[in-house]
Each structure stands twice: as structure tokens, then as C-alpha cells.
């Protein structure tokens, strides 16, 4: 007759990959200079993603505050370490802190800030996060068109004067002799 098969529980085989123990630092803290809040990010977050999240929250929660351009690690008496867009955020230990940098931080005086800062920051930090304000296209104005027409008329008048001068040049030479 037919035998009954009994299913025995399968023993769990050990995974061929070693188990990763969680590292000591599981997150990185970044201080937002615009809002003063500290944001936490996972240990392997790239700088572009962190800046995008910070700017998104600034736009949503604190309207009117300047957007972050990039992230840098700072410590008193040390040169800041700037994180590029594809850099992984890393905490450097005691005394070092990660913070955002805004246009106001880069260009503290108002006269420089009011200039074409979008162009400068786009060249300096091409991270995909920066979107300089597009200039609004101005419609053609009547004065602009009149200036162009005047320039063409002036060119034709000047050409006519030179043509007449060249036509009468042989007579002028004979008169002088």
C-alpha cells in the first residue's frame, strides 16, 4: 500500500555570508545653518541626497530661508572639508561637525549676494541640487526695435557718404594738383 511520508522540518543552514555587525555610528548628524535644526541621515548617505532632503524640508516647513548649497565638515582652527555631491557623509570625530553652507555664507555682503550668484554657485558646486533662477524672458520692446532700425539706417547713410566720397575722389585729386 501507499506509505505515508512525513515531512521533517528542514534544518536551517547557516548563511554563507558572514553577518555584519552594526557599526558604532549608524547615523550622521548635519546641522542646517538656515533653520538651526540638526538632521540625521543614515551612515552611507551621499551628500547630494542629504542636501536635497534638507532643501525639501526647508521649502516645506520653513518658507523663506536660504537653501543649502553643499555640506562641509568644520572644526575650530581647521580648514573645512567640503563634501562633493557624490561623497558619502562621514563623521570625523571629536570637535568636527557637519553643517550646510548657503549662498549667504559664501557671499556675506549684500552687494555681492545681489549679483549673479546663481551663475557663480552653479559653476562652483555643480551638484544637481542647485537650480539658479531662470531669467524671465522680456518681450521685445518698441524702443529696442527702434534702436535696431536706427542702427541699420545709420549704416546705410554712412555707406552712402563713403560711396559719394569715392565717386568724387578723382575730381578732388585733380583739383588739388
Q: pLDDT band for position 137 (50/70/90)?
A: low
Average confidence score pLDDT of the chain: 76
User: Range with the lowest mean pLDDT among 9-23, 46-60, 63-77?
Assistant: 9-23
Residue 127 clears pLDDT 50, i.e. is over it: no
In this prediction, residue 76 carries a pLDDT of: 87
Q: pLDDT band for position 131 (50/70/90)?
A: very low
In this prediction, residue 59 carries a pLDDT of: 83
Cα(129)–Cα(54) distance, rounded to whole angstroms?
11
Q: Which residue has the cell 511520508?
A: 5
- Output 170 or 110, whichever has higher pLDDT: 170
Q: What stretches of 7-74 show up as alpha helix (H) in DSSP?
A: 47-61
Residues 24-61: tens digit of each pLDDT: 668 888 988 888 888 889 888 898 988 898 888 888 87
Residues paired with residue 163 on neighbouring β-strands, in sequence order: none
C-alpha count within 13 angstroms, C-beta hemisphere, residue 22: 6
Residue 120 clears pLDDT 50, i.e. is over it: no
In this prediction, residue 20 carries a pLDDT of: 54
Average pLDDT (147-162) is 96
Look up the pTM and report it: 0.48
- Output 116 or 96, whichever has higher pLDDT: 96
Average pLDDT (73-101) is 87
In this prediction, residue 109 carries a pLDDT of: 62
Q: Which residue has the cell 532643501?
A: 55
Q: What nine digits make up the cell of 158?
A: 554712412
The CATH number that domain 27-124 falls under is 3.10.20
Q: Where are the beta strands (DSSP E) in 17-132?
A: 27-31, 38-42, 68-74, 81-83, 97-102
Q: Which residue has the cell 557599526?
A: 23
- Output 106 or 142, whichever has higher pLDDT: 142
Amino acid at each position: 500500500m501507499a506509505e505515508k511520508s512525513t515531512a521533517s522540518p528542514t534544518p536551517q543552514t547557516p548563511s554563507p555570508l558572514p553577518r555584519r555587525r552594526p557599526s558604532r555610528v549608524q547615523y550622521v548628524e548635519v546641522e542646517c545653518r538656515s533653520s538651526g535644526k540638526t538632521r540625521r541621515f543614515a551612515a552611507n548617505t551621499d551628500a547630494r541626497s542629504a542636501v536635497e532632503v534638507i532643501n525639501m524640508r526647508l521649502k516645506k516647513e520653513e518658507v523663506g530661508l536660504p537653501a543649502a548649497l553643499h555640506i562641509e565638515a568644520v572644526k575650530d582652527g581647521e580648514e573645512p572639508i567640503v563634501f562633493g555631491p557624490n561623497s558619502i557623509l562621514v563623521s570625523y570625530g571629536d570637535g568636527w561637525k557637519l553643517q550646510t553652507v548657503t549662498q549667504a555664507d559664501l557671499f556675506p555682503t549684500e552687494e555681492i549676494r545681489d549679483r549673479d550668484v546663481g551663475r557663480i554657485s552653479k559653476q562652483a558646486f555643480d551638484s544637481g541640487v542647485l537650480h539658479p533662477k531662470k531669467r524671465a524672458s522680456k518681450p521685445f520692446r518698441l524702443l529696442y526695435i527702434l534702436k535696431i532700425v536706427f542702427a541699420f539706417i545709420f549704416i546705410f547713410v554712412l555707406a552712402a557718404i563713403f560711396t559719394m566720397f569715392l565717386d568724387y575722389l578723382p575730381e578732388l585729386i585733380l583739383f588739388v594738383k
